[in-house]
Structure 1
Amino acid sequence: MPPTTEQLHAKKKEADEIRNNSHEWRTASDPKQAARMVTQELFHRNKNSKSLFLSLDVRQDKVDQDRSLVAFYRRDNVKWASPLSCKLYGDEATGSGVDRHMLSCVMLRLITGFHLKSGNAAILKLFEGEPDHLIPSDCEELIENNLFTVAGRIMGHSFLHSGPSFPGLSPAIIHVLFTGSLEQTHLTVQDCPDLDIREMLRLLDSDMELKDLNSIHQLCLSCDLPAPNATNRKRLAKELLFYTVVERSSRQISQLRNGLAETGIWPLLVERRDLIPVLFPRESEAQVTPQMILECIVWPSSITQIFDSYEDEEWDEDEFSTADVCRVSSYLRTFIENGNPAELKSLVKFWIGWELPAVEMKLEIVEAVLPTALTCFEKLRLPRHHTTYHTFHQELCACIATTDYGFGCP
């Protein structure tokens, strides 16, 4: 049956809106509105494409789960703006919440590391360094396996679906990634993840006597630079920093750029540079979702098999140990699931010392007056005495609000 006049008018109106968006996003005052215009256009172009099916079996261990996630994003010639369908095997959850969960999971793995062995490491991390100065790992295995293209696809795919961003990338890497001039790349010693090299750079850039010249000389030789002396030491410090941060990252940056481009968002990012901080926010500005935190918590061992059945149960006071663990742990889960972004950031910072969730965040229910944290061991200790969520919420909010000036155990 041929389309009706009304259907033809509707299709024409939709096409006109998409066509207008292709121009209006360049001048939209709100960068996020510009992003919505572009993603709308990309989704419209691909609405009849075969859906992308991303699945995860929650009954598997984290190694097998992460293999599935990486395999999904390693595929070539994929239209990443195609409709997305996600499935959690072993879980009855359905709908858009599953899609959000999956995107949150894969971005969390990209940020904290995949549970895939690389050499002697149990966690495969594509980026290294300190917050706001992360740079791509120079591990040859990662580069040869094109995993930074995978990283670009993950970042772009999450961006398309308004998912989590990647926080803490070095401004120098961002500058080069978006084709900034190498000569104008601003570097700081914090961009160098190797603490030994960092110390050599500080020594070269100072007026202190050069000691252990052999190590510095070997470093210079490995970078095809002359041996240090009194007249060239400060110049060498800059050249060594540029080599260890930018030159060693050139192939990874190229792969990352290709991965982002494959998702279709590259023209938007190049023309609307005000969107780059949305894609790569500072660590302190990064969004923390409830799923990101819950995924990382190592719950007390006594809770693992009875947590889901705790609600509406009657507990004997003599069994306070198990009952208290389940009750207070359920209060924490409720707090996280309903917390606003500021509360979640404060909780994570109180727990481990900074706002990004760690791979494992340990929880203990103990005999105590107030919540405390062992940030060095990424452990939160909650008092067992709470019998109502209201008082638990009040006390926890009061404690996590102290992170700016210190609270609990360092």
Structure 2
Amino acid sequence: MQIFADWRTEPDLNRAAYIFRRFLLQEVEDQPDLVAKMDLRKSPEEREREILTFYKNPMTNWALPLSVLLGGDSAFGDGVKRHFLSFVKSRVQYGFGLNLENCDKTLFFNGQEDHLVPSTSRLLLDSDFFRVIGRMIGHSFLHGGPLLTGLSHSFFNLLIGQKDELAVVELKDCPDTDVTDIVLLLQGSGNLTEDECDQVNNLAINWDLPPVNENNRKWLAQSILYHAVIGRREKQIRQIRLGLKDTGVLRMIKERPALIDVLFPRASAQVIEPEMILDRIVWPTVDSDDEDYGGFSLEDTFKITGFFRQYIENGTPEELMQLIQFWVGWGILPQNLYVELSSDVAMPTASTCRETIKLPAKYSTYESFHKDLKAAVSSIESGFGLV
């Protein structure tokens, strides 16, 4: 039990979360694998349905070793597991293409970066989808996968299990512009017109709040904002908590609340700097006594790797994050990143399972190299198995 006590006292929060995760995994590491199946020959919507079916199983021990079967073939290794968890996380973060509500994409979270809030969709709530989302979040955490970033901090107390009527709710936490317009009216100093009073009162009465008057204006603004962000989403948060409980992860944030910042990192903190990438790159090895390496001259090797270094050094944080997602399958830097030159590819490609990017040696200018790499990197939007 010593390892279990360590995570509660370890001062480094990331280390503490790692110790907790390893404890849960080690308890079942000798048991049969939990097998997820995904057929890449199917449409993206069909693959998404496979994922939802997988996570809807209420009797699963999510700490079991994870294997992934692609198209019914034999199991693949850690690279495919990373792909699978990255695909799951991207659907949690950016929505499913399933036509659940007669729209192009079903979003489980709405709002601005670091102020994401659960959708108020009655269909998603009644279908218990947020419990499924909680399992996805907890499962990815357990197996070292990418996490949901950017969740509003106003929900953290509810997720831990503390009902906090004084939760700090910011205007940015409310994705509904009609509500924020009314809150801004109430927070202003000018007198409200008759039409503005009607707008405020119609919303207040619908939410069982008193009409506006000279004495309750500021209080009503905060009450409307609180209800718009928290009150309308308490059931969704309860479902997410149940999903986290199903995976065993809820215990971690209940017993040590500070670890919720590790489970739900801020998107603004996930910044990748050029040096962070360059320090991990294993460049093509060139023997100075040999004029030719792997079919490429020293001149070509240095030229293309120089173009690539320039791309990294000049990249914005958003471009570098996209590059890493293209390179390894998700936005988490591995210990090593490998670069190869190739005559077999027409465009830059990534072997994410091997954390290797392959660069054609055909380029004579940085402009042509940059154009092709930029186009290739943007292919991460195509989804799992298509990079």
Settle same-fold status: TM greater than 0.5. yes
Q: Which runs of 5+ in 1 are unaligned?
A: 1-18, 289-311, 313-330, 351-355, 358-385, 399-410
Contact preservation (8 Å) 1:57, 1:65: yes
Name the residue aligned to 2:67.
Answer: 85
Aligned residues: 302
Name the residue aligned to 2:339.
Answer: none
- Confirm or deny that 1:215 pairs with 2:235: no
CA 1:54–1:344 in 2, change beyond 3 Å: closer, same or farther? farther
Name the residue aligned to 2:363.
Answer: 387
CA distance in 1, matches of 2:231, 2:67: 39
> Which digits, 9 at most, give the CA deviation of each residue in 1:237-266, with x for residues without a partner?
111111111111111111111111111122
1:86 is displaced (CA, Å) by: 0.5
With 44-53 and 87-96 compared, the bigger mean Cα shift is at 87-96
CA distance in 2, matches of 1:226, 1:348: 47
1:394 is displaced (CA, Å) by: 7.3
Name the residue aligned to 2:28.
Answer: 46
2:158 to 151, 173, 176: 176
Name the residue aligned to 1:301.
Answer: none
- Confirm or deny that 1:185 pairs with 2:167: yes
Q: TM-score, normalised by structure 1?
A: 0.66
Read off the aligned partner of 2:188 and give its amino acid letter.
Answer: S
Name the residue aligned to 1:229.
Answer: 213
Read off the aligned partner of 2:234 and give its amino acid letter.
Answer: S
Name the residue aligned to 2:114.
Answer: 132
CA 1:397–1:58 in 2, change beyond 3 Å: closer, same or farther? closer
1:159 to 138, 141, 152: 141
CA 1:93–1:345 in 2, change beyond 3 Å: closer, same or farther? farther
What is the RMSD of the two structures over their aligned residues, measured on CA atoms? Answer: 3.3
1:196 is displaced (CA, Å) by: 1.1
CA distance in 1, matches of 2:132, 2:271: 22
CA distance in 1, matches of 2:166, 2:148: 24
CA distance in 1, matches of 2:207, 2:223: 9
Percent identical among aligned pairs is: 34
Give 3-state SS (helix, strand or coil) of 1:107's partner.
helix
CA 1:173–1:56 in 2, change beyond 3 Å: closer, same or farther? same
2:318 to 345, 349, 363: 345
2:182 to 187, 200, 206: 200
Contact preservation (8 Å) 2:67, 2:75: no
CA distance in 2, matches of 1:110, 1:277: 18
Give 3-state SS (helix, strand or coil) of 2:9's partner.
coil
Name the residue aligned to 1:284.
Answer: 268
> Which digits, 9 at most, give the CA deviation of each residue in 1:191-234, with x for residues without a partner?
11101110111101112232433222211111001111222221
Contact preservation (8 Å) 1:164, 1:287: no
CA 1:389–1:88 in 2, change beyond 3 Å: closer, same or farther? farther
Read off the aligned partner of 2:319 and give its amino acid letter.
Answer: S
With 128-137 and 34-43 compared, the bigger mean Cα shift is at 34-43
CA 1:87–1:286 in 2, change beyond 3 Å: closer, same or farther? farther
CA distance in 2, matches of 1:343, 1:124: 29
Name the residue aligned to 1:117.
Answer: 99
CA 1:34–1:135 in 2, change beyond 3 Å: closer, same or farther? same
Contact preservation (8 Å) 1:343, 1:397: no
- Confirm or deny that 1:66 pairs with 2:48: yes
Q: Which has the higher contact order (CA 8 A, sep 6+)?
A: 2
1:109 is displaced (CA, Å) by: 0.5
CA 1:234–1:66 in 2, change beyond 3 Å: closer, same or farther? same
Q: Which runs of 5+ in 2 are unaligned?
A: 273-294, 296-303, 324-329, 332-361, 375-387
Name the residue aligned to 2:238.
Answer: 254
Read off the aligned partner of 2:205 and give its amino acid letter.
Answer: L
Q: TM-score, normalised by structure 2?
A: 0.70
CA 1:161–1:349 in 2, change beyond 3 Å: closer, same or farther? closer
Contact preservation (8 Å) 1:165, 1:287: no
Read off the aligned partner of 2:210 and give its amino acid letter.
Answer: P
